[in-house]
Copies of this chain bind each other. A is one copy, B any other.
């Protein structure tokens, strides 16, 4: 295993943490050497500290690893954070102060002006914020974040539309329960039901999207001018957020050109061949009834966003459906792709 970079996972026992472990098994560049979790788990072997909830088997190599506390004493330089927002803010700051590169899925630092909020296919260049982050925070380490799971699907789907003057977005989401962690959504609330809100996520979609699509300088990010209106719902499925997207554009290239733009969308991960990069970030379906979570959520190992049904909208300009894997492309897979990008473009020694 020589040559692989040692990495750690903060919050390794939670749902995002478990997904991190799955993503990191047999990773060609990273080797998991350290796991941290709350006081309740610290000191136990991972197998004893965790109720494993993923279909992918618990990686054999972590079963006997001893869980450390979430303090930066023994962790490797590069750590992934799947921490809950209730603690992620302080812990991640402590790690950055102590010199760690924190690649975080938590919401706490996403909107900080000098913290990059990255989807590598869209805004790999936002890593240019990192020097300013060190300077302004006085940290020897850094924090890099990925967006909320619903934001990832939306931002990737609309990124290719910027060239046509993306002005407005109205999005309605149908979100899977895995996005809420474990135990998360009570079964009494969702079996045979729809819950017409996912608390707190509408604001994230409306603000994070603008930052991701925005223009970064060395000091900060000028948010994209697009106006975003989000309505969220929870539906009784395990994985896959479906989003009904309606947009207005300054120019109308026609549906064929829009679909071509979606299909040909590609970015830095594809250019430099990052290990977790989907060959085609956006998969457009010609079938009238796609994408569907059950059939399409695992395309490109959960890293592609699936799109279909693009057609004219009589109120705004176009509408379509986007769907992506909320715990892979929308969480752990997103962070791993960010870390891969950092290794190449991060100018980190």
Binding site for B on A (CB under 8 A): 15, 53-55, 57, 168-170, 172, 174, 177-178, 180, 182-197, 199, 206, 227-229, 231, 233, 235-238, 240, 242, 244, 246, 288-299, 308-309, 313-316, 319, 321, 323
Contact = CB atoms under 8 A, between A and B. Distances in A.
Given A190-B191, A227-B314, A315-B170, A197 B233 contact: no
A285 to B, nearest CB: 10
A304 to B, nearest CB: 12
A349 B294 CA distance: 42
B186 A174 contact: no
A196 B236 contact: no
Nearest to A232: B244
Nearest to A54: B295
Given A192-B237, A196-B308, A196-B309, A184 B186 contact: yes
Contacts of A316: 170, 229, 315
B314 A229 contact: yes
A228 B316 CA distance: 10
Nearest to A320: B231
Contacts of A169: 315
B238 A294 contact: yes
The 8 closest A-B pairs by CB, nearest first: A183-B186, A172-B172, A193-B294, A192-B192, A196-B321, A229-B315, A172-B244, A177-B187
Contacts of A314: 206, 227-229
Nearest to A246: B170
A319 B229 contact: yes
A199 B237 CA distance: 21
A292 B229 contact: no
